[in-house]
Amino acid sequence: MVDQVNSVGVVGLGTMGAGIVEVFARSGITVIGADSTPELAERGRGFLEKSTRRALDRGKLAEADRDALLGRASFTHQLSDLADVDLVVEAVPEKLELKRQVFTRLDGIVGPGAVLATNTSSLSVTEIAAATSRPERVVGMHFFNPAPVLKLVEVIRTVVADDAAVEAVRDLAVRLGKKPVVVGDQAGFIANALLFGYLNRAIAMLQERFATREDIDAAMTVGAGLPMGPFTLADLVGLDVALEISEVMFAHHRDPLHAPHPLLQQLVTAGRAGRKSGQGFYTYDRPGSGTVVADQLTPAEPDAQLPDSLVVLGQGAGADELARLLPAQDLRPLDLDAVGDGEAVDADLVLVADTGAPLGAVAARVGRPESVVGVRLHGPTKRGRLAELVRGVLTSEESLAAARSLLRTADLVPVVSGDRAGRIVDGLVHPYLNDAAKMVEAHYAGPDDIDTAMTAGCGYPVGPIAQLDQVGLEHALSVERAIYAETRQPGLAPAPLLQQLVTVGRGFRTDG
């Protein structure tokens, strides 16, 4: 077994593989990039030259350093050229049989002390390792795209992995300036297991017309502070890739919540793979572009006039803040308890400060339920401040349009959702937080590793365990109970650990 990795081979020189080559070469490590043909090997060299040229032009890399970097990287179409390296990282397409074939060939080429690593994002490392005569020296080394930029590396340990092999890969990740987390061999590992459950739930919201793709994306960027909304992210990742990962996760967990949504399958079948094909959940001006153009799914903004009269129903800080923000000429805040059942509220628009309770119960007490719109304020975040508008079963389109226009005058970003527990933001955030709590409960990963995975790998502003402590476990539990009570889906049942911590008055890292 090698004590320290000084030379590396990378097999598979697509965008990810070439990025991994760059990571090693930047860190002073001799690296050989390999692919199946001379043309693909040269394409890998071209990716590296283009990336480092861009860094040079932006002033992030000196010319002498670029020359040295390029000098540490060589390229080949012969796997036999990797015979003397200390470590091989496989980065071929996410197909189990293809990866197994590559590992079988590598097993007969590299030295007996070399470590073999797979960059798989979701496949079983154990099944890949079984294709070799040295499964104890096979580990996962999952980089995140773009590899030269993102800091997370998931190091996956199988049940037969040698401790020295795992530590060698972990130590190497630290030398590369990465943030490694060591986890067991479970489909999706940490980041993708949490991320793709969230994406699947967002797709279900869209398919059920609970909210539009634009409003869901805006809710999660403006309201939750995420770097991208779920549909923008899915298009960037590639819908075909998202489908493959979701299928692997469902095959492993057998949780219906991880089953690829039919809409995702249909889009892939129709050739809509995301940005790379020019069409995914959104339509782009050309393949590979991130510039969205209008299509048949782009909602038309209805004409709307500001209401002449407005009533805000509710009590407490939410109602007071809503009333303060709205520049209405005839604004009359009313305590809901002061409105009798069926009593007509004489106003063009009735805004209800949303507490998460069903809006229908409030609308039933108002004589004009078509004018009732729920409003919940979030944030603010760096992207602005979100106003989640709740559409009751009898709410008119005119009332929704008027509410959107009114809230925009207060510099709020309005989005519309149906009347369901959690609405958009909490309906997507809290199941994700619950999944993270279940990981801790199962002893799959600790709070620090889970938080590192989502911040360093996915760019989230805060990790899920830290977020649970921030929002308060008692509040999180109440939201998750409401979502579960409405859906009765077993995968959405609150984690028992979360309930236990609330009972004893503890957070994941803090008292109270």
Enumerate the active-site residues.
121, 142, 154, 192
Q: Which residues pair with 300 in a beta bridge?
A: none
Q: Which amino acid is at 93?
A: P
Strands 384-391 and 372-381: antiparallel
d(CA 89, CA 73): 14
Identify which of 195, 200, 209 has the alpha carbon closest to the alpha carbon of residue 264: 200
d(CA 318, CA 368): 22
DSSP element (H, E) containing 218: helix 213-218
Identify which of 219, 220, 225 has the alpha carbon closest to the alpha carbon of residue 455: 225
d(CA 419, CA 208): 13
Q: What are phi and psi of 375, to 5 degrees?
A: -135, 125
The length of the chain is: 512
Q: What is the 3-state secondary structure (H, E, C) of 53-83?
A: HHHHHCCCCCHHHHHHHHHCEEEECCHHHHC
What's the angle, vertex CA 410, arms to CA 409 and CA 413, rounded to 5?
90
Task: Dig out the tokens for 340 from the structure.
Answer: 């009798």
- In angstroms and rounded to an integer, the radius of gyration of the C-alpha atoms of the chain is 26
d(CA 449, CA 194): 13
d(CA 93, CA 119): 10
Positions of E strands within 174-328: 179-184, 283-284, 292-293, 310-313
